[in-house]
Amino acid sequence: MDILPIFLFIQTLYTLHLADGLVTQIPLPKNLYDCLDQKSDNTSTIPSRTIQSFCISNFVETTATWSTNITDPNVRNYITSLLRGVVREAELDDPSRQKRQVFGGPVRREVRAAPYQYNWRQYALAVRRLKNSFSVRQDTNNYDVIAGIHSGSTLGPAHQGPNFLGWHRIYLLILEQALGTTIPYWDSSLDFAMDDPVNTILFTARYFGNGFGFITNGPFANLPGRPILRNIGSDGTLISKQAIASVLSRTRHAEIVEPSTAGTVQYSLEAHHNGPHVWVDGTLASLASAAYDPIFFCHHAFIDYIWEQFRRRIPNAEADYPPTNVAGHEPFRFMNFGEFPFAPRVRTSEAYSARYARLRSYQPAPSCPRCADSPDLVCNTDTGICESRVAPPQMRMQAPAARGAAGAASIAGFTAQVVSAPDEVEADTPERAQNAVAQTGPLAAGPKFVSPFRDGRTRGGSIPVAPADPSLIRGKRSVVGEINKNQLNSVKTNQQTVHSVNNFVGQNKREMPYQNSFIINGKSDINQWVFMPVKVVYMQSSGASIDPIKSLNLHIDHDTHMSNSTVYKSLEKIPNKPNPAVYDRCSHITAGPDRVFVESDGINYSGRYKDYAKIDPFRPVSSSFTYIGIKKPSNESSIEALITAYDTCGRVCKAKCLVFGSRPPVYKSCAGSIMADTRFPLMYGRTYNEAMRDLWILWESTSRGINNRNIPVMFVCDRDTSLPWYHV
């Protein structure tokens, strides 16, 4: 018997560290592809990652399973009485039933608009009263009872469809019935216009309270009920004037709601609405917990204000309700606010009518030169628009979260009552949010909003989430100490820290490691993840001005520009392609990015993993590696996942999948959707270290290098304007 083939086979296994675990490409899910195809009509101005992220988030949300929330009879009676109050108010103010003409109900003003004591302070005091009232349940304050409506079975009929606008309009009116006052709207474009929105005066004790960690000052600190966690400026975006103008440029509701007939998220009001949810992060970032932060209602009042400007331009807005087969959003369907059998019913299309719109009117958004007479707004004479004032440094000093009394709010003026010594206070910085997560584990709030838009000034480092706490879904009382601290023990952080001195696009002066929550199907468990290597090849634009030699002020006789094909003839083979659309903050940058993000999203499981590969911005062509997590396959079932990559300016990279068995390795264009199972050979590692070990051949003194046959997916980022989902 010839033993040579057997010997070679065994030697190959040893050299490559192969074991069971095959990764192969599969088709993109049809509903995900249909969304990408529908939204791809306007890619000349919309970054491709904006489109891709929006469709992935829609796909993930439609596969989620929601549970029924509130069943307590006292809660049912309370919510029913509030709904009756809303409907009764609409009937009393209906001009068709009376001889008088109604020009608008109570006025909603911008949060910072004067007078402070009758606008913001009045709302904040009313919220405090609700938070301190337990007339409905002994274990849940009245505000949290209302916040609990925005969870469970109501989330589907309230999002990703045309009922999004009307449902939240009625929801605002429900809270106002309980408050006895109007909700001021948060015009986040006033903060977006700042050099750095994180420095806005809103996130101080005068208004919303601190922006990082659990709230320790301001009107909402130290109140009973679910604690509020924030981490402003990590991801997403606030709403810009340009975004508002895009929405208002349309003429039909079908163009500004989901699924939009405009073919792009640029005009989708719901898509723009997601940005501030993600930007504030923490409690506000997850669908089931968002309403527990009182900022939620101020943000949605602004969305309602934008919609009302649009709605008034349509002669018969109720008849303009878009036809749809999205479950819970169909025309004339009764809205779902929970299981309240004796509550009055409001139809989806009815909320588009003037009957409910006339119940509230809006003071116009602050404008130059007076900026709503607010001392906390300033007119920028260069741009001609109002901006928020920057918070003075002393207003950004917070009491440590562990000492609740130190951050207590004063009823008189909501000023921080710091009773500890000066050396015991701390700056309101992102570290406060990270420390809070380190103490409590991932936020038990369930799936997050996903913003298709991202402000280039955001820094990364969003708060990880765990499955929604059952007490949150039911609207029960909770405190920080009740969050499951054991979850942190099963969460391991990839401690890859990058140091750089160059200020290229997306690069922060102080980079933080990317933290993943390792949640699979609602459970945080690193043992349920495996890791596979991903290669990234990045090609800089032909117009990039990158010359590392000249940057050293050396005198060189010839042109050393590394992208100069006249000097370097081999570069003539690189095609000269037009630059695709980028995020607004990248439009004036000619140098390349220094990172490419790689992300996995489960197709037949619920889970997301994200990391990045470092790119050399000084080279015309650069390659790098990273490792991406996917759910661990079992002998009984394979897993399916979508792997995507994009640079810090929103340009999506093209996936290439390994042709199994090719020698040398050959890669073929693919959608990035893969299937992994336990079959031979190994193409992933059971741990992060194992994936790294199997990629790099380090144990052979004569053949050290890269094992290319162990890389199932690679990405080519070539700045081509064509979209990767059409290259399959």
DSSP string, 218-277: STTTT-SSS--EEETTSSS-PPPHHHHHHHHT--SHHHHSSSPTTSSGGG-HHHHHHHHH
Domain shared by 199 and 256, yes or no: yes
Domain shared by 686 and 707, yes or no: yes
Domain shared by 79 and 30, yes or no: no
Quick check: is 420 in a domain? no
Length of the chain: 728
At 514 the pLDDT is 61
**Tokens of residue 529, six digits:** 């993840």
| Domain C-terminal end among 375, 394, 413 | 394
At 269 the pLDDT is 97
Top pLDDT among 494 and 171 is at 171
Amino acid at 6: I
Say yes or no to pLDDT of 100 above 60.
no
What is the number of helices (H) and of strands (E) in the chain? 17, 24
Cα separation of 715 and 672, whole Å?
9
Can you name the residues that pair with 23 across neighbouring β-strands? 676
At 445 the pLDDT is 78
How many CB atoms neighbour CB 204 within 10 A?
A: 25
- Which range marks the domain in which residue 600 is found? 23-60+528-542+569-717
Q: Cα 160 vs. chain centroid, distance in angstroms?
A: 15
Domain shared by 31 and 81, yes or no: no
Top pLDDT among 450 and 481 is at 450
Total of domains in the chain: 2
Say yes or no to pLDDT of 224 above 60.
yes
Burial string for 440-452 (b: 16+ CB within 10 Å, else e) reads: bbbbbbbbbbbbb
Domain shared by 194 and 305, yes or no: yes
Amino acid at 23: V
Residue labelled with tokens 């989430």 = 465
At 337 the pLDDT is 87
Quick check: is 564 in a domain? no
Helices (H), 314-380: 354-357
Q: Is 414 left (phi over 0), alpha (psi -120 to 50) or beta?
A: left
How many CB atoms neighbour CB 48 within 10 A?
A: 25
Quick check: is 301 in a domain? yes
Phi, psi (5° rounding) for residue 690? -65, -40
Domain shared by 261 and 330, yes or no: yes
Domain shared by 536 and 583, yes or no: yes
Quick check: is 447 in a domain? no
| Domain C-terminal end among 373, 394, 415 | 394
Top pLDDT among 267 and 44 is at 267
Quick check: is 465 in a domain? no
> Quick check: helix, strand or coil at residue 572?
helix
Parallel, antiparallel or unpaired: strands 696-697 and 705-706: antiparallel
- Average pLDDT for 225-237: 93
> Quick check: helix, strand or coil at residue 444?
strand
Cα separation of 241 and 544, whole Å?
30
Identify the weakest region by mean pLDDT among 308-312, 428-432, 456-460, 615-619.
615-619
| Domain C-terminal end among 372, 394, 416 | 394
Most confident option among 352-366, 516-530, 588-602, 605-619: 352-366
- The DSSP-derived string for 623-659 is EEEEEEEEEPP-SS--EEEEEEEEETTSPBPEEEEE-
Domain shared by 45 and 74, yes or no: no
Over the Cα atoms of the chain, what is R_g?
27
Domain shared by 40 and 185, yes or no: no
Q: How far are the Cα atoms of 107, 232, 388, 468 from residue 147, in angstroms, in the given order?
A: 23, 21, 28, 14
Domain shared by 218 and 354, yes or no: yes
Top pLDDT among 317 and 694 is at 317
- Average pLDDT for 714-727: 79
Residues 531 and 710 sit within 8 Å (Cβ to Cβ): no
Quick check: is 495 in a domain? no
At 469 the pLDDT is 58
Helix, strand, coil fractions of the chain, as percent rounded to 5 = 35, 15, 50
Amino acid at 201: I
Say yes or no to pLDDT of 335 above 60.
yes
Quick check: is 223 in a domain? yes
Helices (H), 572-709: 688-695
Q: What percent of the chain has pLDDT over 70?
A: 73
Indicate the average pLDDT of the chain: 78
Quick check: is 475 in a domain? no
Cα separation of 400 and 418, whole Å?
10
Domain shared by 79 and 56, yes or no: no
Top pLDDT among 436 and 217 is at 217
The enclosing domain of 330 has a CATH number of 1.10.1280.10
Domain shared by 46 and 191, yes or no: no
Angle, helix 48-62 to helix 30-38, in steps of 10 degrees: 140
- Average pLDDT for 258-263: 83
Residues 202 and 186 sit within 8 Å (Cβ to Cβ): yes
Top pLDDT among 459 and 386 is at 386
